Amino acid sequence: YIVQFFRKKNTTPRLMSRCSIVYISILILLIIKEEIFLFELVVNGAFEAAHRLVDYPGKCNRLHGHSWTVEMSVSGDKLDNIGMVADFKVLKSMLMEVLDAMDHQYLNELPQFKELNPTAEHLAKYIYETIEANDLFKTNCKLNYIKVWESPKAAVIYRKDA
């Protein structure tokens, strides 16, 4: 069909080949897009903790605290027999298990931050890697990202790009 279309237009074989590739690529993308349904689930948690950013050239070098908020995004394309990718209760519990261990702590003294400054970036990575080890992510679910707010106006997102 594509070849006939370009022959009617009196197109050179080289242009026809390039246009065919583009056209076929677009068709493939449309077909793929039509067949993939992806659900994204998001849960939030919070904890209170103090930290100090060693060698930071400013006030954050002193001991201070935050009301941290953490968002976890999970996705999947298959629903279970009751119509869920994952149970929100399970996801919240998974997140809170990690956050509860840091709640009302001095983060610099925790083993995971003995060698690392407990920046929002390091917290996001630590939370992501701890949660990613859960068996849930060996099935239909994928952990998309962890987003950590240290204030209502400042956040960091950690994700592993595949």
The active-site residue out of 60, 71, 129, 132 is: 60
Q: What is residue 56's DSSP assignment? A: -
Name the one residue in this structure whose structure tokens are 């950013």.
53
| 60 catalytic per annotation | yes
The active-site residue out of 40, 48, 104, 109 is: 104
d(Cα 152, Cα 12) in Å, to the nearest integer? Answer: 59
Separation in Å, CA 45 to CA 55, 64, 68, 93, 115: 29, 20, 9, 9, 25
Rg (CA), the chain: 24
| 19 catalytic per annotation | no
Question: For residue 143, which of 95, 82, 79, 93 has the smallest C-alpha distance?
Answer: 95
Q: Name the residue type at position 155.
A: A
| 109 catalytic per annotation | no
Name the residues annotated as catalytic.
60, 104, 150
